Structure 1
Amino acid sequence: MASGAAKPATFFLLFVNLVLYLIIIIIASWAVNHGIEETHGQASVLSIPARIFPIYYPFGNMATGYVVILSLLAGVVGFTTSAAGLSNAAQWDSSNLYTASIFSIITWSFTLLAMGFACKEIDIGWGGSALRALEVLLIIVSGTQLFSMIAIHSGIEELSRYGGGRV
């Protein structure tokens, strides 16, 4: 990135991720709540392998439970680390950017795990519109999280090039 361009790009991408992860938390929480409410009535007539999973989702397919739980986990971790990353990027010194870098790598790994199961759910078959939105958001946020990591790392390079202090 050009000199001084890493800081605004980092702030923009972290803010976009913060909003996207909040939307993922809302959709995944709705899906968990809907699944819990429908479990008792729907799962009591199912055979043994389907009754083992504690939450039965009357929508989606067999991968839905994993997608919803992992996207909820990725959403909570992503929202928290994006907020902390915004705080660390506001300081814009090397120690805080290294912390933001570690946060972004952890978040990206959780997001890729949830996105992998979302891609598997897409491959298996059709889900509901809320699940489709969740799958699309997971794919989008995995890309924006990657760009956020690149912006943070370019900020670290920029700081090291200018002596490790504030720019």
Structure 2
Amino acid sequence: MAMGAGQGLKGFAALLLFLNLCMYIILAAIGGWAIQVAIDQGFIIGPGLELPAHFTAIFFPMGNAATGFFVVFAIIAAVVGAASAIAGLHHIRAWNTESLPAAASAGVIAWTLTLLAMGLAWKEIVLGGRNAKLRTMEAFSIILSATQLLYVLVIHAAPPIMFHAGQPARR
């Protein structure tokens, strides 16, 4: 592959990295809002009262039965996705074979967690009864599952600069 094609893929990878980072931050922010609402308006048990039969530790006053699980896994995916973007940023800067494994493995882990959140988003969509912020989280989880996979494929497809011990890396 010519050097120009590799640089084009590097630019595309940087664009995907920035897009994913922004979407992961938004996903985490909306998830944080949902957890805040669940804590503030959640089920409170007074002294002498018993738990209801269908009580779950992941109780959210909005949404449906899948909301709690979806929000928790979406936040985990968002935090790991943002961390993978930091590793990806280092790889974009260095663009050599030394930085590729860290960026690729972090990207794959973030992608698999995003797939898990996406699956729960689909379950929440099927059950219905959620507000606009939860629908936004669902959409971002579904979109991120595709763009994160595309990012991982692009950094594998673009040829990084070979780095040999004793030689300075080219930038």
Aligned pairs for 1:8-19 (under 5 A) are 8-19=11-22
Aligned length: 159
Output the amino acid matched with 2:149.
L
Other-structure match for 2:99: 96
Aligned pairs for 1:1-167 (under 5 A) are 2-41=5-44, 47-49=52-54, 51=55, 53-155=56-158, 158-159=159-160, 164-165=162-163, 166=170
Shift of 1:55: 3.8
Shift of 1:70: 0.3
Indicate the larger mover: 80-89 or 139-148: 80-89
Gaps of at least 5 residues in structure 1 are: none
- Per-residue CA deviations over 1:48-91 (Å, capped at 9, x if unaligned) read 22x2x224211111000000000010011101111221112210
Q: Secondary structure at the match of 1:13?
A: helix
Q: What is the TM-score with the length of structure 2 in the denominator? A: 0.85
Structure number with larger C-alpha Rg: 2
CA RMSD of aligned residues (A): 2.0
Q: What is the TM-score with the length of structure 1 in the denominator? A: 0.87
Q: Is the contact between residue 58 and residue 69 of structure 2 (CA under 8 Å) also seen in structure 1?
A: no
Output the amino acid matched with 1:89.
I
Gaps of at least 5 residues in structure 2 are: 164-169
In structure 2, the CA distance between the partners of 1:103 and 1:47, relative to structure 1 (3 Å rule), is same
Other-structure match for 2:166: none
Shift of 1:6: 1.5
Q: Is the contact between residue 87 and residue 102 of structure 2 (CA under 8 Å) also seen in structure 1?
A: no
Task: State the alpha-carbon separation in 1 of the partners of residues 58 and 85 from structure 2.
Answer: 29
In structure 2, the CA distance between the partners of 1:112 and 1:144, relative to structure 1 (3 Å rule), is same
Q: Is the contact between residue 16 and residue 151 of structure 2 (CA under 8 Å) also seen in structure 1?
A: yes
